[in-house]
A and B are shown apart, each in its own frame.
Chain A
Amino acid sequence: MKADPKGVLTGVHFIDGDHAACEGALAAGCRFVAGYPITPSTEVVERFAQRIPHIGGTFIQMEDEIASSIAIQGAVWAGKKVMTVTSGPGLSLMMEHIGLAAIAEVPSVWVDVQRGGPSTGLPTLPAQADMMQVKWGSHGDYEIIALCPNSPQECFDLMIKAFNLAETFRVPVFFMMDEVVGHMTERVVIPEASKIELTERRWTKKKPGEYKPYETGADMVPDLVKAGDGYRIHITGLTHDERGYPVINAAAQKKLVERLINKIRLRKHELVDVRLDGVEGADVVVVSFGITSRVTGAAVEEARRKGVKVGHARLVIAWPFPSDLFADLSRKVKAFVVPELNMGQMALEVERAAAGRCAVVGVPHPGGTVHEVSVILDKIMQAAAGKKGSPALEGASR
């Protein structure tokens, strides 16, 4: 289906990532946002609150992030495409309801404009240190999807993809921006609505009486209805059967949790989005995401000028992690170098995929600004020279 022109601000704009993310959501058909404004994500909801009355939809400024993260889930059962927007401290408050969105299979987009932490940390300055939190933060076993834009244009483009994936897989989809991407202003081209392809909600084709809320076919994803349309539905955070009613035993748990996991793990080949640059024949491949990919780009160019065969693999979808791709690459390269604005998170995933077949060198940074290009360059040069370098989880830099 095509986007509704009402929500699409077709044209060429000079806007920051936060504003572009909002426009992406509106173009994707998002018509309900609940949030509690927090730096550096505030501009996303500020713009949504200004725009939505003219388009038709709802923004609620809730009392906190706990309430925001449950209000959006209610709106899904009223038929809306939904989003909430926060930064680290708010994300921490949302953890319980992320688990609910996972077990109740609520298609939803969760924007995290990452800032330095832990706790209130650095409100106005960047980090990329929530990557493991969105993967593992709520208790129990579940799978999510996470995307990492590196420019305002991608905040628009990938936001549409995020909404489409939420509808396809019925999981919480995390939109992992960072303060720099959120507050960086660049040209953003918004196409005509007829050029924007949206994934429609999986509305059931069954009649009331035949429909079961958690019955699935081969793709392991159940179809939806709107509450109030005459279908019998029951939504719970408890382990449930196909009817949606609680069943508290090991057999029901096995059936449900294995499906929640497998609908992503067994289809993860559909979720690989890694932008590769010069990895064929490379001795060293730098793995990056978000704003760090733009700093890495400068370091990679510099290393190539010095004659090093270096490639760049940028994670656009970070979760599920494309481990097959990196396992394959690990057979061909001397080393992976993994710069990130945290003390070693995605580097651990790269190391797991490499499984000892090549070196994995972390380039940790606690955030507050981005890496110096020279720091990444040095690690590339060392790795290319076959120096052992630091393991993925090294101590703090001295």
Chain B
Amino acid sequence: MPKTEIRVGGLGGQGVILCGSIIGKAAAIHDGKHAAMIQAFGPEARGSACSAQVIVSDEPIGYPYVKNPDVLVLMSPDAYKLFAPTVKPGGLILHESELVHPDKDLPAGVKTIGIPATRFAEELGRRLVLNIVMVGFFAGTTGLVSYEAVEKAVLDSVPKGTEDLNSRALKKGFEFGRQVSGR
């Protein structure tokens, strides 16, 4: 894997940036790769369009922006509208399946895989961990970061006392991802 470009998009408050940060941290600290993350957000604390751009690479990263991602992780319809047309031909869109409904108007060869992450998070006890479900889903479907690395990254990114809930959220997303992607 020479270089993979990822964009995570959603609404402020969904944990979009943390989702990107955990993927980057897993790669950069625990998997021994290089990673750079850039975030974009509006001035509002919650509810504004929000996205994280993450590059994971075996080589040091120069230019840190993501224009045409290999993998898109989408958690809101607005993010889908904005970013789906930018995905690389042959790329992958991972989406929250009850919030984002992909249409057919996508670049050639793009594959979409959905997960009801919000519902899973609610079933686990707190809607808040939807982003961690998405992190697990990302790891399970793409294999770009190892489960061990991403678990360590989750555990040192979440508040104390929430480790168990977040571990379960990660596992749920990861296993669902493995299952639906056939990896």
Interface residues of A (CB under 8 A from B): 12-14, 123-124, 180, 183-187, 294-295, 297-298, 301, 370, 373
14 contacts between A and B (CB under 8 A): A14-B28, A14-B35, A183-B38, A185-B21, A185-B36, A186-B34, A186-B35, A186-B36, A187-B28, A187-B35, A297-B62, A298-B63, A301-B62, A373-B63
Q: State whether B43 touches A123 (Cβ < 8 A).
A: yes
B residues near A370, Cβ cutoff 8 Å = 65
A residues near B40, Cβ cutoff 8 Å = 124
A residues near B28, Cβ cutoff 8 Å = 14, 186-187
Q: State whether A14 touches B25 (Cβ < 8 A).
A: yes
Whether B37 is near chain A, meaning CB under 8 Å from some CB there, is: yes
**Contact indicator per residue, chain B 34-48, by CB within 8 Å of chain A (1) or not (0):** 111111111100000
**Given A123-B43, A185-B24, also A294-B62 (CB < 8 A):** yes
In the bound complex, CA of A123 to CA of B44 (Å): 12
A residues near B153, Cβ cutoff 8 Å = 14
In the bound complex, CA of A185 to CA of B63 (Å): 13
B residues near A13, Cβ cutoff 8 Å = 29
A residues near B21, Cβ cutoff 8 Å = 14, 185
Apart from A185-B37, A187-B28, A373-B63: 16 A-B pairs, beta carbons within 8 A: A123-B43, A183-B38, A184-B37, A184-B38, A186-B24, A186-B35, A186-B36, A186-B61, A187-B29, A294-B62, A294-B63, A295-B63, A297-B62, A297-B63, A298-B63, A301-B62
Interface residues of B (CB under 8 A from A): 21, 24-25, 28-29, 34-43, 61-65, 153
Partner pick for A12 among B29, B62, B63, CB 8 A cutoff? B29
The 6 A-B pairs with the shortest beta carbon distances in the complex, nearest first, are A14-B25, A298-B63, A185-B37, A297-B62, A187-B28, A186-B36
Nearest to B157 among chain A residues (CB) is A14
Q: State whether B64 touches A294 (Cβ < 8 A).
A: yes
Please indicate which of the listed interface residues B39, B40, B42, B65 has the most CB atoms of chain A within 10 Å of its own CB: B65
In the bound complex, CA of A393 to CA of B52 (Å): 35
In the bound complex, CA of A2 to CA of B54 (Å): 36
Nearest to B40 among chain A residues (CB) is A124
Q: State whether A184 touches B36 (Cβ < 8 A).
A: yes
Q: State whether B24 touches A298 (Cβ < 8 A).
A: no
Nearest to A180 among chain B residues (CB) is B38
**Given A297-B62, A373-B63, also A14-B38 (CB < 8 A):** no
A residues near B61, Cβ cutoff 8 Å = 186
B residues near A295, Cβ cutoff 8 Å = 63
In the bound complex, CA of A248 to CA of B64 (Å): 53
**Given A12-B29, A14-B21, also A184-B64 (CB < 8 A):** yes
B residues near A123, Cβ cutoff 8 Å = 43
Partner pick for A183 among B24, B25, B39, CB 8 A cutoff? B39
A residues near B38, Cβ cutoff 8 Å = 180, 183-185
Partner pick for B29 among A14, A180, A298, CB 8 A cutoff? A14
In the bound complex, CA of A315 to CA of B40 (Å): 27
In the bound complex, CA of A184 to CA of B66 (Å): 13
B residues near A187, Cβ cutoff 8 Å = 28-29, 34-35
Nearest to B22 among chain A residues (CB) is A14
In the bound complex, CA of A301 to CA of B21 (Å): 28
Min CB gap B70→A, angstroms: 17
In the bound complex, CA of A88 to CA of B183 (Å): 50
In the bound complex, CA of A123 to CA of B28 (Å): 29
Q: State whether A124 touches B36 (Cβ < 8 A).
A: no
Q: State whether A124 touches B63 (Cβ < 8 A).
A: no
Q: State whether B43 touches A124 (Cβ < 8 A).
A: yes
B residues near A12, Cβ cutoff 8 Å = 29
**Given A185-B21, A185-B37, also A124-B62 (CB < 8 A):** no
Min CB gap B135→A, angstroms: 14
A residues near B29, Cβ cutoff 8 Å = 12-14, 187
In the bound complex, CA of A157 to CA of B87 (Å): 36
In the bound complex, CA of A180 to CA of B36 (Å): 11
Nearest to A179 among chain B residues (CB) is B38
Min CB gap A341→B, angstroms: 13
Please indicate which of the listed interface residues B24, B38, B39 has the most CB atoms of chain A within 10 Å of its own CB: B38
In the bound complex, CA of A280 to CA of B113 (Å): 51
